[in-house]
Amino acid sequence: MRDWREWLVRQISLAGNFDRHILDAFLQVPREIFSEFKYDPDVVYSDNVIVTAKDKDTYTTSSQPSLMALFMSAAGLKPGMKVLEIGSGTGYNACVMAHVVGEEGLVVGVEINRKFFEKSLEAAAALSLRNVVFVNADGFFGFEKFAPYDVVLVTVAVERISPHWIGQLKIDGRIVAPVHIYTIDRQPAFVFEKTSEGVVAKHLVETRFIKAGGSLGDLNERNLERLSRIEKMFVEPSDFLRLPSSQYETLGVFHVASWSLCERLGWVYFVEDNAFARWKGGWETYGETKLLKAIVEEWARTRYTSMTLLVFHYDYDMNFKGLERWDET
């Protein structure tokens, strides 16, 4: 199978200029042992997603290898680092990263599904890897035991970034995560970097991942619950904010800036503690929507720049602080 792994590495190399230690790690790990399904070698070692296990109506995949190489590269993954992976599935990517960080490093994979978690334990044991640990838990809470981490790498589409990850990350550490913007069915990946002053995020690439379960996949429901507690307080709208941007672009920016959107019966809402807004080709506001107006003002300063060219600023609890353009930072 070594020849097939070399073929895979050649495919990954065509997708980007990746460091040799990342490419060499893919040479060390047999992808087929992480799957309960049998595939021909040309499928297993293609630069494609493959389904690796199924549990009733839930399934997990081995992500596209070149995309994983991109995530590792964007995270600045190097030997000796400590990595937290969220949504580790049956463990292939975690075991590849274990070879990248080497014996002096550590990879901790968190997987919410018990069956997939057990498959990852089995595969890691077969490879005699001692620098990878798997945990069966809700990834929203990270894993405090081995913190602080240099990198948090997320391989499932999450609806929000957990403050627990920020708390468990070193200063200058990075989170690479695909964000599921459910109101427009978009999954852009971002690089979130923890600085001494807060968190800074930049767009990396558009993706398509399995949607997260647990606390990383219930943001719409949480925001709908918040909406239900306040919407009867208002009868008439207080203002209408028209924006010179498409619905697609606007909802993407507001989701990533605030984590405050929800959708019900075809309507999209922005929810604050004591106010809300409804999207009607612009924001129809009810009450004093301070956060929404702050985002509008910050976005206007960037001349309503596309999300892919914005820099998002947050505090350590992932509350919105500001926006900038990439080319003005």
DSSP for 139-187 reads GGG--GGG--EEEEEE-SBBSS--HHHHHTEEEEEEEEEEB-BTTTTB-
H or E, element range at 261: strand 261-264
User: Which CB contacts under 8 angstroms, 24+ apart, belong to 53-60?
Assistant: 53/89, 53/90, 53/115, 53/116, 53/119, 55/113, 55/115, 55/116, 58/113, 58/213, 59/210, 60/89, 60/90, 60/113, 60/116, 60/210
H or E, element range at 279: strand 276-279
Strand 239-241 to 199-206 pairing: unpaired
DSSP state of 38: -
H or E, element range at 99: helix 92-101
Q: How far is CA 319 from CA 43, 147, 194, 286, in A?
A: 43, 22, 13, 21
Q: List the catalytic residue out of 63, 66, 215, 260.
A: 63
Is 63 a residue of the active site? yes
Q: Which amino acids are annotated catalytic?
A: 63
